[in-house]
Structure 1
């Protein structure tokens, strides 16, 4: 009998024990829809993929059952600030020891606390869990649970793809594959499939709670001139009550907007990746303490924000995708109170977003990496390959990830590189990797097109946004600037219902995500998101 079955027999109802821990350790008298179901699955030893809106209480899903399991819980978290907040909240709640293992803390000391049994929770970045020595030491502690936060980062289809997340599946196996709970606030159906595949989840229970945040009013303000847009945003931020966030595209904009809002008498601070670590920490702490009115930030600020009373989120331009937009506006109104999300939009802003999606992969460098590893005939230390090619670690990682995905290279437990026996030739591997990279860029550009659609739609903005995630929404929401009394739309009515699988003569396989009057949005495997007029798809699009 397994440990989870013994626990169930010893203590009775899982739900009763989970509620008791939630109440006594954390002071939570009620658990939200989806939380208890996920906790019970975890406590029963099953892998779980949980998709829950921002502010829905995803952290509780691993924190509560962890205190009923023998052995530490490993939490993979991408941001150091988020790790610090989670450790502090767990220590404050008296929920057992908690440590963070990252580049700003002594790694050996943190791991020693875990192996000595003095820490119930250990928070690591995916980069740390990719290190063989870290995995080996954690394995000796026999972890009972692994939580992967921001799990959409593992998906190349996701809007926030992070290559280091691709190593997590291997690390999970080396740790003995205890129950795994993958957590995300934003994941379309194809992203969920890739999360399951990449992490190696076994028969996971997939729990998806609605994406809708009805307390957030959605609006777009359109401008022809950048100066007019800038003045309007500053006026909006300077005259609003409560705590707010302003998202911008560049470090320069963060500094300039924060300065202009501060001149209007608001306590405003910039936040971006170019600031010193101590300065970023200072701003984060001011925000957490409510000692600042407005933070003007790039996308570097956000994941793990522990404030429930953000009243507004403004965007000085469209982000790179509806995924990113949904995640960022979801930081407003977590307390259930009225909140607003306003996009300040110029069509020309989309050109900057296309530029920021980045350049294409160097096909010649891909070929050199594949050739050198194959000709070596064994394992090649990554450091030696970096020195030979005179490139940085992040660039080599990106190249290796592409070659891994076309089954040309593999990364050993020690971090060395090896050519896959019987794998494709270096020439073929490089060509396939380039095609993979091109597909990725087409998908990225299609997401930008969908942001244009959101900004320029004349229909309900909430319906547009939820439809992007494949969640049908009938009629208008009555809580956005574009909403009006619209006729109800039955998502399953007519040809090509929502979630139908389709085949396009040019773009191949896809799935219908949403339907609005005379149009459908389809996510294609090869080109990403496309909006199609129903009058123009006869003979071009078929059900499969």
Structure 2
């Protein structure tokens, strides 16, 4: 049997393991059960693919989405791993079963729904199973943000094969969720390997919404490369996609209500693209194994910090610089609290804690990454140098007095009006509505002026975020449970004022920032090969591999094969084509 290092080089084309990969592989090869918590882009799939090549038998990969399985199948096949999927979308079921029984598969992908059936269990008795890999393992936990009941039915299947190692993998699990995964999948606590949650290549930005469409249009203009924009409703995806279209970028919409053929085509085209923007609901993402997404934007508040971490983690899986930008509004928190009131009473404390954690993330004047990582139990440095607050520290002021004025105006106008009317009263504006209701005679009329006037809207957002103000069923502001303490001076309202936004020139965050013409020629050759093979360009080679080619300019196959990311199978399949491009560029 080849050593793990030899397989890593010859099959995957990598000179060495990254992070905790070697620790995980060693446990699997030693026949020990393991839970690996590794950030997206840390190479989780290699942790079961490499043992699948090394060990006798077939690794059974349990994965939640068909699209994700098919993406991983393409990538595995491209490097010479014998792999197949067993899903409702496959028309080669008989061939796959025959290959499995004959011991001709290294990897067999299936969904938990199929794996928990008696028929699948009988199938596994017909051949040698080398490993169970449970992908997206946080789905097994009711404490997780993406619970799937079928995952909780896996334990009997795993226990029927007690001598087969099991490897659970996830990028998003806090301490409570990790403990639950260990119990539900029968993994001993000493089998827990946590690689850390930091994604240092992602730059985090969080901004109050002020004309969302324009804000996102500006972001799209500034950020080259593929991107995902998450919105909260189906209708909003199509509306925003239409607004962003026609500005030099391909833009598509994705949501569960689209015709299945349209949805599948949009996803296929996005995966194959080098610059498309997908405007989507959260139905889009988990099934996407696309490494070169350069930015992820949220046009509204995600469900939780765990969901935010997972969704932003779809950017920069290739390790290249990427951006995550969240645009939020006070109404997001109002709606979230309303939804919490509609869930079962026993779940409400946990949901409130999740919302409070999101509030701390958007409201902080300190390091965003620090809050994210502390949520997952880490103790990071005070600053990261790669989030909006670290790069451009905001001003922080005590806005308690302005908040008390705002709350007084809400109370004296009868807790029936929105932010605009309250602002008009405080500024002393004699609008028609103010005059009709006699609010110009109130003691709060005109008590805010000068620079304090600029604080009214941020204060209104802060009061709604803190649940000092709520929106009534008629759309007016009314007191929430935290209002009394602020009015009585028992609680302060500190306000973070984001720096004024300057119109930035388009950043050269492209795949080819130094404009190397050889790199562009290599990308063009990759594009042609990808179209001919009907696979996404990144399945051929990642941009980082092409950049290394352009820098080293190898003159023979042996030198080309020493470049990171070029294993034996890819060298055989594509080496001559890329070498031809390099030599032609050199005039040889």
Tell me, yes or no, whether TM beats 0.5.
yes
Aligned to 2:376: 469
Aligned to 2:63: 77
- Alpha-carbon distance in 2 for matches of 1:115, 1:444: 46
* Pair 1:162–1:359, CA change in 2 (3 A): farther
Q: Indicate conservation of the 8 Å contact 1:47/1:204, yes or no.
A: no
Aligned to 2:388: 481
* Pair 1:116–1:275, CA change in 2 (3 A): farther
Aligned to 1:207: 193
Which stretch has the larger CA shift, 170-179 or 54-63? 170-179
Structure with greater proportional helix content:
2
SS at match of 1:41: helix
- Alpha-carbon distance in 1 for matches of 2:169, 2:335: 31
Q: Indicate conservation of the 8 Å contact 1:142/1:175, yes or no.
A: no
How many pairs does the alignment contain? Answer: 393
Aligned to 1:346: 329
Q: Indicate conservation of the 8 Å contact 1:269/1:292, yes or no.
A: no
Cα RMSD between the aligned structures?
A: 2.3
Mind listing any 5+ residue stretches in structure 2 that lack a counterpart? 394-489, 491-588
Correspondences of 1:83-122 after superposition (within 5 Å): 83-96=69-82, 98-106=83-91, 108-109=93-94, 110-122=96-108
Of structures 1 and 2, the larger Rg is shown by 2
SS at match of 1:30: coil
Aligned to 1:237: 220
Say which of 425, 436, 450 aligns to 2:357: 450
* Pair 1:359–1:275, CA change in 2 (3 A): same
* Pair 1:102–1:248, CA change in 2 (3 A): same
* Pair 1:359–1:460, CA change in 2 (3 A): same
- Greater relative contact order (Cα 8 A, min sep 6): structure 1 or 2? 2
Correspondences of 1:506-521 after superposition (within 5 Å): none
* Pair 1:26–1:49, CA change in 2 (3 A): same
Mind listing any 5+ residue stretches in structure 1 that lack a counterpart? 1-10, 361-436, 487-535, 537-544
Indicate yes or no: 2:31 matched with 1:48: no
SS at match of 2:203: strand
Q: Indicate conservation of the 8 Å contact 1:317/1:343, yes or no.
A: yes
Correspondences of 1:207-286 after superposition (within 5 Å): 207-223=193-209, 228-286=211-269
Deviation at 1:346, TM superposition (A): 0.2
Aligned to 2:543: none
* Pair 1:115–1:25, CA change in 2 (3 A): same
Q: Indicate conservation of the 8 Å contact 2:368/2:387, yes or no.
A: yes
Deviation at 1:133, TM superposition (A): 1.2
Q: Indicate conservation of the 8 Å contact 2:298/2:326, yes or no.
A: yes
Aligned to 1:190: 176
Q: Indicate conservation of the 8 Å contact 1:250/1:298, yes or no.
A: yes
Give the TM-score normalised by the residue count of structure 2. Answer: 0.63
- Alpha-carbon distance in 2 for matches of 1:308, 1:358: 38
- Alpha-carbon distance in 2 for matches of 1:80, 1:59: 16
Deviation at 1:177, TM superposition (A): 5.2
Structure with greater proportional strand content:
1
Deviation at 1:219, TM superposition (A): 1.1
- Alpha-carbon distance in 1 for matches of 2:247, 2:312: 24
Indicate yes or no: 2:160 matched with 1:174: yes
